[in-house]
Structure 1
Amino acid sequence: MYSYQIVEWILFFYIYCVFGWIFESTYVSLKSKKFVNRGFMKGPMIPIYGEGAIMMVIATYPVRGNIPLEFVMGMVGATLLEFVVGAIMEYVFKVKYWDYSNQPFNVKGYICLSSTICWGVLSVLLAELIHIPIERFVLSINDTVQYGLVLCVSALFVFDAVTSAKEAWDLRILLVALTKAKEEIVALQHQLEVKKDQIAEQLTDKKEELVEQLTDYKEEITSQLVDKKEELFEDLQAKKEYIVQSLKKGSAVVKEAESLKKKIDDERKRYQAMVEKLSLPNVRILRRNPGATSKKFYEALESVKEHLEIKRKNK
């Protein structure tokens, strides 16, 4: 087996990528009761399955025929691979494209006990049953045909991988922008609450000042009621109006509060505009990975998913 040529290893990888896509898409489609083109890439390939299969083939070869060891070796190798790939993808794209957080005995959502056991069972099946006919098929292909297949499929694979990675990166940029806008709204709302408290304090002070002035004017009116009733009453009303207008228009705190309200409205409109501008290419990767999650950008990702669902229903 270790005498495989590099071209044969590549063909094995592509074959298992396709098998993984068939398995995953069938499972998710049956569960969703609709067809789901599952996987990180757009085409019918899921690289993690290809990588896992190659890892299992390598890990089980030294113990071929010993089923318990095939189970353990393949399980360990594939589980480590799944953990590393999951961690790297989340670090780069800020999204978990598979998440076992709701499964018992999981490690950071990248791996869990049930998937680890499945990898072990699959390792035994691969070593004892699946890989044998695939190996026979690949080795029976003419060398020229092998190279031709690898060149053609590799070109498609690389193109798909690059465009899919760009989609994931665009989604990352969108989630960062949405989260930043949300944080700005929260910060502005906090500032507005502080200004409201300051305004309330000023209103209390002005109210007390107004009451005192009105009391003084009332006493003055009372003492001079006969001679200057109308004149003093008009003066009193003018003073009252002046104080009220001064409070509404002249207060710097009130103006700041109005400015903050405008900023909050503008930021909300900007946030909504970013969501509304979502086009199919921006979020196609989420259609292929409906269970994708993000710890850091949870709210932003849920907003995108909600908008996608609304667009789907309105079609």
Structure 2
Amino acid sequence: MTFHFTTLFLTFFIYSILGWIFETIYCSLVHQSWDNRGMLNGPYCPIYGCGAILAIHVCAHFNSPVLIFFVCALGSAILEYATSYLTEKFFHTVWWDYSYLPFNLNGRICLTVALGFGLGGLVVTYMIGPFVHGIIRHIPFFIQEPLALICMAIFAADLTLTLDALTSLNQKLTTLEDQINNNISERYDAFLCKTKEKFSLEEFKEKFTTDEIKNMLPSLNFPQIHVLKSSLGFRKVDYSDLGKKLKQTISEHKKKRE
């Protein structure tokens, strides 16, 4: 099965939206509250779009549902592991963690989820795929091109904003971590001289950290807040705990506003 690039991108975009819908509904039901999934700001999860495109093209050569199931299960595991590894390596950010599930590999992939995506591959191949392809096929090509360009522009802008948010957020947390740790003993001594309250150094550091995090909140933009809300946190960096506290503070502020 061959596609023109325009058709290919529209197919990718549609499956990215469908993936976002599926994951958002599923996670919202599990958490019993609205859970806007996905790394990007818009209603799409590119990993589902990439997975669907690969499944459609690779599985087009197979006639056996059993073979399609295992190919999709293996392919999804490779895609998930690679995505998790790269986002953590470059941005120190974790979006999912299967450590609590059996037969997981570094928390990035696990057997249960891979088998679930194997079933999803069958659904895409035999049910959703033909339906989506039929819809796109009936859209005149002179409409497909500008539609794809618009979707591409939206996606590219969103991706740029998200990458900038991830980079700047890591920088902000690095700066804040240094600000908290540098000269903390001198700050503590100065604090004791100005107050009669008794604080241990650890208690003072905790209070100082909380105050600095609250002071940081007004400087965060929407993409940065979305990254914090949608991700599980930061891993293998000095400011991992700081990221968790910032995420928790944002959640607490949201509850107060509600």
TM-score by length of 1: 0.69
Q: Percent identity?
A: 26
Counterparts of 1:270 and 1:23 in 2: how far apart (Å)?
A: 38
Alignment-derived partner of residue 196 in structure 2: none
Aligned letter for 1:261? D
* C-alpha distance after superposition, 1:43-96 (max 9, x if no partner): 111111111111211221211x20111011112222111111111111111111
Alignment-derived partner of residue 51 in structure 1: 50
Alignment-derived partner of residue 121 in structure 2: 123
* C-alpha distance after superposition, 1:109-135 (max 9, x if no partner): 211111111111111111121101111
Alignment-derived partner of residue 146 in structure 2: 148
Counterparts of 2:86 and 2:173 in 1: how far apart (Å)?
A: 18
Alignment-derived partner of residue 177 in structure 1: 175
Contact 1:97 1:293 in 2 (8 A): no
Counterparts of residues 138-287 of structure 1 (less than 5 Å): 138-184=136-182, 261-262=189-190, 269=208, 272-279=211-218, 281=221, 282-287=224-229
Counterparts of 1:121 and 1:305 in 2: how far apart (Å)?
A: 34
Structure 1: which 5+ residue stretches go unaligned?
A: 190-257
**Structure 1 position 294 matched with structure 2 position 235:** yes
Alignment-derived partner of residue 90 in structure 1: 88
Alignment-derived partner of residue 220 in structure 1: none
**CA radius of gyration, larger in:** 1
Aligned to 1:278, the other structure's residue is in SS state helix
Per the alignment, do residues 12 and 261 of structure 1 end up closer, same or farther by CA in structure 2, a change over 3 Å counting?
Answer: same
Aligned letter for 2:175? A
Per the alignment, do residues 78 and 270 of structure 1 end up closer, same or farther by CA in structure 2, a change over 3 Å counting?
Answer: closer
**How many residue pairs get matched?**
242
Alignment-derived partner of residue 219 in structure 1: none
Contact 2:98 2:110 in 1 (8 A): yes
How far residue 26 of structure 1 moved from its aligned partner, in angstroms, is 0.9
Counterparts of 2:129 and 2:163 in 1: how far apart (Å)?
A: 30
Alignment-derived partner of residue 251 in structure 2: 309
Contact 2:51 2:76 in 1 (8 A): yes
How far residue 305 of structure 1 moved from its aligned partner, in angstroms, is 1.8
Alignment-derived partner of residue 36 in structure 1: 35
Alignment-derived partner of residue 73 in structure 2: 75
How far residue 268 of structure 1 moved from its aligned partner, in angstroms, is 7.0
Contact 1:178 1:271 in 2 (8 A): no
Contact 2:180 2:205 in 1 (8 A): no
Aligned letter for 1:29? S
Root mean square deviation of aligned Cα = 2.5
Counterparts of residues 13-32 of structure 1 (less than 5 Å): 13-32=12-31
Aligned to 2:3, the other structure's residue is in SS state coil
Per the alignment, do residues 155 and 259 of structure 1 end up closer, same or farther by CA in structure 2, a change over 3 Å counting?
Answer: closer
